[in-house]
Amino acid sequence: MYKSPYLIIILLVAATILSCKKDNAPSCVTCSSSQTPDFEVCEESDGNASVNGEDTGTSYAIYISGLEAAGTSCGN
């Protein structure tokens, strides 16, 4: 009878841990330009953009805005 609250707590902790691991995966888009071959830009967990796996040290939103302003097309 007393095991039920412990089971619920264990399940909640497990669900929380598993859901946090999904947040670490970067969100990526493919970008193309008439001047370059296609390349991948990802938003890392710290909010920076990485290009083909290399951290740019620049915020993802600012990096994508700069690319689009230069005529690069980025999308899923």
pTM of the predicted model, to two decimals?
0.65
11: Cβ contacts below 8 Å, ≥ 6 apart: none
Please report the pLDDT score of residue 59 as a whole number: 96
Within a 10 A sphere around the Cβ of 73, how many other Cβ atoms?
13
Q: What is the pLDDT of residue 28?
A: 93
Residue 52's pLDDT is what? 85
What distance in Å separates the CA atoms of residue 56 and residue 11, rounded to the nearest whole number?
A: 39
Domain ranges of the chain: 24-75
Residues in the chain with pLDDT < 70?
Answer: 1-25, 76
At 4, which amino acid appears?
S
